[in-house]
Amino acid sequence: MAKNRTFTMIKPCAVKNGHIGAILAKINEAGFRIVAMRMTRLSKSQAEAFYGVHKERPFFNDLVGFMSSGPVVAAILEKENAVEDYRKLIGATNPENAEEGTIRKLYAESMQNNAVHGSDSDENAALEGRFFFPANECFSVEGKEELV
């Protein structure tokens, strides 16, 4: 299968709890390469735009408040079957339902504060990657600059 890309954020809870290094180690051990990465903080309007698909949901305002409450680590990851494999690595949205050994099982605090984001399709991975990173800040495994 061809290499493709997904987008992740280490959410404010996991940054605050000191789990950046452990989560990046899990990502590398699972065979993902980091194509782009930055620590940043979302404004309220950026968080609203990023999770806009959920704007009618009852948890939306709390989610936006949480996601803009502190720094996140945003990254584009590359691997064969990246989107699906990364969703497997992070585990279910609700950490109580996440499999043993998954990032959310290990590091999530709650359904909302669930440690990491992972794209749910190739199309969204590309959109989300472009939301954070210009093409000249994305580096493929070979080190070439590439469009996301």
CB of 120 to ligand ATP, least distance (A): 5
Strand order in the sheet with 116-118: 33-40, 72-80, 3-10, 116-118
Among residues 117, 125, 133, 138, which one is catalytic?
Answer: 117
Choice between 54 and 55, CB closer to ligand ATP: 54
Contact predicate 109/13, CB 8 Å: yes
CB of 135 to ligand ATP, least distance (A): 24
CB of 67 to ligand ATP, least distance (A): 8
Q: Is 19 among the catalytic positions?
A: no
Residues 97 to 136: which contact ligand ATP by CB under 6 A? 111-112, 114, 117-118, 120
Choice between 59 and 140, CB closer to ligand ATP: 59
Q: Which two tokens stand for residue 120?
A: 């749910």
Rounded to the nearest 5 degrees, what angle is found at the Cα of 13, between the Cα atoms of 141 and 7? 25
Residue 64's φ and ψ, nearest 5 degrees, are -65, -40
Q: What is the C-alpha to C-alpha distance for residues 134 and 3, in angstroms, rounded to an integer?
A: 20
Question: Which residues of this protein are in contact with ligand ATP, per CB under 6 A?
Answer: 54, 59, 63, 93, 111-112, 114, 117-118, 120
